[in-house]
Amino acid sequence: MLVVMRHGATADEVDRVVQVIGELGYDARPMPGAQRTAIGVVGNDGRVDSSRLAALPGVVQIIHVTQPYKQVSREWRPESTIVTIAPGVSFGGDEVPIIAGPCSVESEEQIVEAARAARDAGAAALRGGAFKPRSSPYAFQGLGRKGLDLLAVARQETGLPIVTEAMDDEGAHLVAEYADCIQIGARNMQNYSLLKTVGRIGKPVLLKRGMAATITDLLLSAEYILSEGNEQVILCERGVRTFDPATRNMFDLTAIPTVHQMSHLPIIADPSHGTGIRDRVTPMARAALAAGADGIIVEMHPHPDNALSDGAQSLYPDELTSLIKELRAVATAIGRSVTQTGTTGARSGTQ
Ligand code: PEP
Ligand code: MN
């Protein structure tokens, strides 16, 4: 439920509403906005009796949020949320950042070469997994902590912020020491204890859609993170499993405008996992941006033929350069722009 205050409501009036919400046994989340201050009521699992609140001074409206996901919904917050993972790299506004890099961190040479290629192509952030959730226990599992150290070296070399995956609660704290944005992968979208942990850690989170998750499932998973007090969540469409083996997944572009209608959170698109085939990545990245994606995350490897994971869907560096050029044209056509960080040298690491 949302308690909407009149424009210009006093701090005392807001405090009184917060106090009464507490007396009713719920948590109050005041949200000052440009147009109005609203106070969210959380902790209820059903309809709250709002009669006491409606009568308080300064209150103009009570909105009962109808969806099961509350804080994530557009009803809760009409204006789009902007999530900033590093200075100048924000998701959800007019600018669209590109995140690029290999599926996995493999060696210092590989990740630094990839980071330089990503930066030179115009990417605003570097991706790369140190902890890899693989379908087979015999496949390359990632370098773990060593991989995080190598990502820190790549960031130091290029200035690109890092997006990297955490697979479990313990790993999340370690990943948070290095990452600018913590990725929760498709296989962990419904790992509720991990969601709560990254909610408490408070760093930006990239939450990928599960392989068989509905959009409502995705939003409910995001709600776990927001309910722990972390509103910096970027959603990601990465394709879902269907009956058709022609591509690795069915890349659901309709999810992008649908999420925008249902939620104020930004949503980006991953055409690499969405298609699984290198040649499909560029056209689907263009389409995702045209559909309104707030960012694109794409796999690029300096030598895809030697990649330890997902080489078949990884772009060559020159393909990334061409793609980002094309994305700039698409962005212009829809009144947006691709983020240009202008980083050409090192910045101090934030490890
Ligand atoms: C990845 O980003 O490399 C990855 C494992 O993605 P997903 O969780 O979407 O399969
Ligand atoms: Mn991958």
Pairing of β 37-42 and β 125-127: unpaired
Cβ proximity of 183 and 165 under 8 Å: yes
- Protein residue whose Cα sits closest to atom 9 of ligand 1: 186
Would you state the pLDDT for residue 68?
A: 87
CA–centroid distance, residue 98 to ligand 1 (Å): 16
Residue 39 φ then ψ, to 5°: -120, 115
Contacts 24+ apart (CB under 8 A), 140-145: 140/104, 140/308, 140/309, 142/104, 142/105, 143/104, 143/105, 143/106, 145/174
Would you state the pLDDT for residue 342?
A: 66
107-134 confidence digits (pLDDT tens): 999 999 999 999 999 999 999 999 999 9
Beta carbon of 103 within 6 Å of any ligand 1 atom: yes
- Protein residue whose Cα sits closest to atom 6 of ligand 1: 185
This prediction's pTM: 0.93
41-94 confidence digits (pLDDT tens): 987 767 778 899 999 999 999 998 888 899 999 999 999 999 999 999 999 999
Q: Collect the ranges in the chain with pLDDT lower than 50.
A: 344-351
Dihedral (CA of 283, 289, 292, 294) sign: positive
Beta carbon of 129 within 6 Å of any ligand 1 atom: yes
